[in-house]
Amino acid sequence: MTEILFAGLPELEPGTVWLVGAGPGDPGLLTLHAANALRQADVIVHDALVNGECLKLAKPGATLEFAGKRGGKPSPKQRDISLRLVELARGGQRVLRLKGGDPFVFGRGGEEALTLVEHGIPFRIVPGITAGIGGLAYAGIPVTHREVNHAVTFLTGHDSSGVVPDRINWEGIAKGSPVIVMYMAMKHIGQIAANLIAAGRAPDEPVAFVCNAATADQEVLETTLSRAEADVAASGLEPPAIVVVGEVVRLRPSLDWRGALDGRKLVTDPLPDRSRNPA
């Protein structure tokens, strides 16, 4: 069966780096390309958000190097991580850079790939399921729903200096995006919520925090924009978290499939006040 699964997939050549997304947490969400990379790599340089169960798929004798960056905690500089990939590849290693979620969605994969190009290192990009989609799905929250939204915005809650990005057009997003999905936003949720309310979003608009998404430790907090900061503080929840703002949060009582596995009774009509248009 293994040979059938991996037949025809590319070889990770010596001196090459693959930038691979590991998905939001559940090892079952690894792509076949990601599993193929794990079984070939000599060195795996992995992020903090990569589930350790994924690393068990590494070939015997593979070297595991931790290169996690977590906000507010000591962590390697991005340039040093990128140059380490160059160093390993130049040493003839088959290098797997394994990143939580997707390498190109707030994952600094573009920065690392540009460094590889700068130094003439061959590379491949393997997309992964980003937490803003897969993590929310594991919480029973769809990022799009025909009766709720036809657009969604993904943004980061802090920039490289650790503060709320000043280049985000909060007014434009508040008025133009029915659903907003935010990465690394828990720490600054008070300021972000105030920005959105000041730009016209309703204080009672639904908000959900999905912590440790798609893992056994997943926890979900449902609240509103005006209460988000206080409710998060009272909950004691900690990052990593995905934050979603919008009416799609109201679908969770019907779509919380993981809760249903634990006995939660799902409701059949979470949006009773909305007109139905089956066309």
* CATH number of residue 185's parent domain: 3.30.950.10
- Cβ distance 256 to 264 under 8 Å? yes
Same domain, yes or no, for 76 and 94? yes
Classify strands 123-126 and 95-99 as parallel, antiparallel or unpaired: unpaired
Same domain, yes or no, for 103 and 181? no
Same domain, yes or no, for 124 and 137? no
- Cβ distance 120 to 145 under 8 Å? no
**Rounded Cα gap, residues 85 and 45, in angstroms:** 8
Q: Is 187 among the catalytic positions?
A: no
**Rounded Cα gap, residues 74 and 87, in angstroms:** 22
Same domain, yes or no, for 140 and 79? no
Single-letter amino acid, residue 101: G
Task: Please state, as a whole number, how many other Cβ atoms lie within 10 Å of the Cβ of residue 122.
Answer: 12
**pLDDT single digits (tens) 17-36:** 999 999 999 999 999 999 99
Both structure tokens of 120: 């003439």
Q: Considering 47, 99, 102, 256, which one is annotated as catalytic?
A: 47
Q: Flag whether 274 is in a domain.
A: no
Same domain, yes or no, for 141 and 243? yes
Residue 70 is predicted with a pLDDT of 61
Q: Considering 184, 186, 187, 256, which one is annotated as catalytic?
A: 184
Task: Please state, as a whole number, how many other Cβ atoms lie within 10 Å of the Cβ of residue 16.
Answer: 21
Strand order through the sheet with 241-245: 152-156, 179-183, 241-245, 206-211, 219-224
Single-letter amino acid, residue 49: L
In order along its 279 residues, the chain shows pLDDT tens digits of 778 889 999 999 999 999 999 999 999 999 999 999 999 999 999 999 999 999 999 999 999 999 986 655 667 899 999 999 999 999 999 999 999 999 999 999 999 999 999 999 999 999 999 999 999 999 999 999 999 999 999 999 988 778 898 889 999 999 999 999 999 999 999 999 999 999 999 999 999 999 999 999 999 999 999 999 999 999 999 999 999 999 999 999 999 999 999 999 999 988 876 544 443
**Rounded Cα gap, residues 256 and 36, in angstroms:** 32
Task: Kindly tell me the number of DSSP H helices and DSSP E strands found in the chain.
Answer: 11, 10
Q: Flag whether 278 is in a domain.
A: no
- Cβ distance 145 to 248 under 8 Å? yes
Q: Flag whether 275 is in a domain.
A: no
What 3-state DSSP class applies to 181? strand
Same domain, yes or no, for 76 and 185? no
- Cβ distance 237 to 216 under 8 Å? no
Q: Is 47 among the catalytic positions?
A: yes
State which residues form the domain around 152: 132-262
Same domain, yes or no, for 98 and 144? no
Q: Flag whether 91 is in a domain.
A: yes
Closest by Cα among 128, 87, 88, 122 to 105: 128
Single-letter amino acid, residue 150: H
Same domain, yes or no, for 51 and 168? no
Task: Please state, as a whole number, how many other Cβ atoms lie within 10 Å of the Cβ of residue 95.
Answer: 31
**Rounded Cα gap, residues 52 and 25, in angstroms:** 9
Total structural domains within the chain: 2
Residue showing tokens 């900061």: 229
Residue 257 to residues 68, 93, 137, 188, 245, Cα–Cα distance (Å): 31, 42, 9, 29, 20
Average pLDDT value for the chain: 94
Closest by Cα among 30, 26, 42 to 5: 30
**pLDDT single digits (tens) 216-275:** 999 999 999 999 999 999 999 999 999 999 999 999 999 999 999 999 999 998 887 654
Q: Is 273 among the catalytic positions?
A: no
